[in-house]
Amino acid sequence: MDKILIHGGRPLSGSIKISGSKNSALPILAATLLTREPCILHRVPDLSDTHYMLQILMHLGAQVERASGTVTVNAEKIESIAPYEVVRKMRASVCVLGPLLGRCKEATVSLPGGCVIGDRPIDLHLKGFEALGAAIRVEGGNVKVFAPKLTGAIINLTGKFGPTVLGTDNVMMAAVLAEGITVIEGAATEPEVVDLADFLNKMGAKIEGAGTRRLIIEGVKELHGAEHDIIPDRIEAGTFLVAGAIAGKGVTIKRVVREHVSSVTDALIACGYQIQWAENSITVSPNGAVKPLEIATEPYPGFPTDMQAQMCALLSTTEGISVITENIFPQRYMHVAELKRMGAHVQLEGSTAVIQGVERLFGAPVMASDLRASAALVLAGLKAEGRTEVSRVYHIDRGYEHLDEKLSELGAHIERVKA
């Protein structure tokens, strides 16, 4: 098992390119199951999560070829059963349910395991499938969905903590092959949902309203193959923007969509950092004194829950008292105890973190608990005095393509070693 060692205090400068979006690539890869014809996807990031998804597709019978960032999937003949041993490593594997139901009119998928950041049930996914006419059984750790045919319906996917991104993806993928019109109210508006809808439309689907709370889907009899470029990963972009803020003297991220990260750049500007935009690139630089901040995570276009941990790391060394409220996953503060080991002063009050900025952090052995928490610990290590040792970095490899190498390009003293 690898570890990442960071020797803090090196200023970051220069530029890096952002990889394709993990949260777009996973459902789009699943969507290739909807057609018998080949699909070609570009900028698929080299991550453990995308590797797992490709393994699932191959287990289901698809032929997969990968060359650098381009993946070709030919799902001419597929099965409709995905057992526990192939889906247990990744919660997003549940997004094969929609395309399997749409194409095969049945699917059996093992329920994904628990999530360290809290309960993330699929009840809204199943509610959507039922509205389309599917019967559902949950037994032996598997969810089985089946229907003689799928029929368009009006479906509301608003959940307790807002819209469901994967649920919107899943129901949309099932509905494209249903008879008649499906209307999804309370749909997620994230760019990754729009990217999936764009890909499905290239395949011959008829989807309107992507990026709004109301999706209108006119069912078609079949879909064909398509070629598509995955959008840039806005969370990776946000993470490097925060890296530039926490330890940079001028960091430029390239291949980024400005509006996708506007909530992060707005927060950094409010905190006192200088942001400069150019075509497909953003530069973050110090701008004199920085200020504390109050932010709350919200569904897109609000501040993303996937950036909350990284912002905690930044605000830990920002003078004054900052407040972060986590509205999406209230339990998502596993990184706080590890940041405290590095000298951070953070007090948790329910779903709110009160952060008293300190003058400096100190390197320490810390343990990653989830994907974004691990990124936060690496960012803190860039700022800390001495050496920070981050273990369980397989979490990082789930969602960041060569994070350590990209930070090295910017001047960080960072290395990956075998534990």
Domain ranges of the chain: 2-18+232-418, 22-229
Instruction: For residues 49 and 93, give the distance between their C-alpha atoms in angstroms, rounded to a whole number.
Output: 9
Length of the chain in residues, anyone? 419
Neighbour order of strands in the sheet with 181-185? 154-156, 181-185, 214-218, 206-208
Instruction: For residues 386 and 250, give the distance between their C-alpha atoms in angstroms, rounded to a whole number.
Output: 22
| pLDDT tens readout for residues 238-263 | 999 999 999 999 999 999 999 999 99
Q: Which of 67, 79, 70, 137 is nearest to 103 (CA)?
A: 79
pLDDT of residue 113: 55
Helix H, strand E, coil C: the string for the chain is CEEEEEECCCCEEEEEECCECHHHHHHHHHHHHHCCCCEEEECCCCCHHHHHHHHHHHHCCCEEEEECCEEEEECCCCCCEECHHHHCCCHHHHHHHHHHHHHHCEEEEECCCCCCCCCCCCHHHHHHHHHCCCEEEEECCEEEEECCCCECCEEECEECCEECHHHHHHHHHHHCCCECEEEEECCCCCHHHHHHHHHHHHCCCEEECCCCCEEEEECCCCCCCCEEECCECHHHHHHHHHHHHHHEEEEEEECCCHHHHHHHHHHHHHHCCEEEEECCEEEEECCCCCCCCEEEECCCCCECHHHHHHHHHHHCCCCCEEEEECCCCCCCCHHHHHHHHCCCEEEEECCEEEEECCCCCECCEEECCCHHHHHHHHHHHHHCECEEEEECCHHHHHHCCCHHHHHHHCCCEEEEEEC
Quickly tell me which residue has 């109210």 as its tokens.
185
CATH of domain 22-229: 3.65.10.10
| pLDDT tens readout for residues 372-392 | 999 999 999 999 999 999 999
| pLDDT tens readout for residues 314-344 | 999 999 999 999 999 888 999 999 999 999 9
CA distances from 185 to 70, 157, 188, 208, 357 (A): 34, 6, 9, 12, 42
Structure tokens at 97: 């349910």
pLDDT of 117 strictly over 60: no
Task: Calculate what percentage of the chain has a pLDDT beyond 90.
Answer: 87
| Active-site amino acid positions | 115
Instruction: For residues 229 and 238, give the distance between their C-alpha atoms in angstroms, rounded to a whole number.
Output: 20
CATH topology of domain 2-18+232-418: UDP-n-acetylglucosamine1-carboxyvinyl-transferase; Chain (3.65.10)
Dihedral (C-alpha) 85, 231, 296, 351: value to the nearest 10 degrees? 0
pLDDT of 161 strictly over 80: no
pLDDT of residue 27: 97
Q: Do domains 2-18+232-418 and 22-229 have the same CATH topology?
A: yes
| pLDDT tens readout for residues 3-27 | 999 999 999 999 999 999 999 999 9
**pLDDT mean over 178-190:** 98
Quickly tell me which residue has 């597929």 as its tokens.
78
Q: How many CB atoms lie within 10 A of CB 2?
A: 15
Measured between its terminal Cα atoms, the distance across the chain in Å is: 5
